Amino acid sequence: MTTSAETKAALVRLCSMDELAPGEGREFNVQGHHVMLLGTDEGVRAYRNSCPHQGRSLTFAPNEFLFSSKGLLVCPHHGASFEPGTGLCTDGPCKGGSLQVLELVAQGDELCIDPASLR
Ligand code: FES
């Protein structure tokens, strides 16, 4: 059995809850896994930073994401568009697919991720 202290120690802090506004994103390398956080009207969402089309990063430069005028996340490689709140691809070569949703763990005002959940 894992104690709460062991669980807490295993978590990796990513950011505070209010650090990302809608239209903002940030990427992380969590023990070799590429993770991105997106700010939305409903709070911060976490996804694997891998486009379902060809598995490429959704950044065009370190920590730089493209957002359309409608607030959709746009893959810089072939233009797939994603809803930041759900990860659903609404247009482009992987339309109907989805970003891989990752679970965030709240620790007070901090958002963390369990690296074990990324394997
Ligand atoms: S790799 Fe993202 S649209 Fe092709």
Give residue 1's pLDDT: 40
HSE, side-chain direction, 13 A CA sphere, residue 62: 2
pLDDT value at residue 3: 45
- Atom 1 of ligand 1, nearest CA residue: 54
The pLDDT score that the predictor gives to residue 107 is 96
Q: pLDDT of the chain along its 119 residues, tens only?
A: 444 555 555 999 999 999 999 999 999 999 999 999 999 999 999 999 999 999 999 999 999 999 999 999 999 999 999 999 999 999 999 999 999 999 999 999 999 999 999 99
Q: Report how far ligand 1's centroid is from the alpha carbon of 103 (Å).
A: 23
Phi, psi of 116 (to 5 degrees): -65, -25
119: tokens are 């394997």
- β-sheet bridge partners, residue 88: 98
All structural domains of the chain with their residue ranges: 4-114
Counting runs of H as helices and runs of E as strands, what totals does the chain give? 1, 12
pLDDT of amino acid 6: 53
CB 76 near ligand 1, within 6 Å: no
According to CATH, the superfamily of the domain at 4-114 is: Rieske [2Fe-2S] iron-sulphur domain (2.102.10.10)
Token reading at 57 = 């990063």
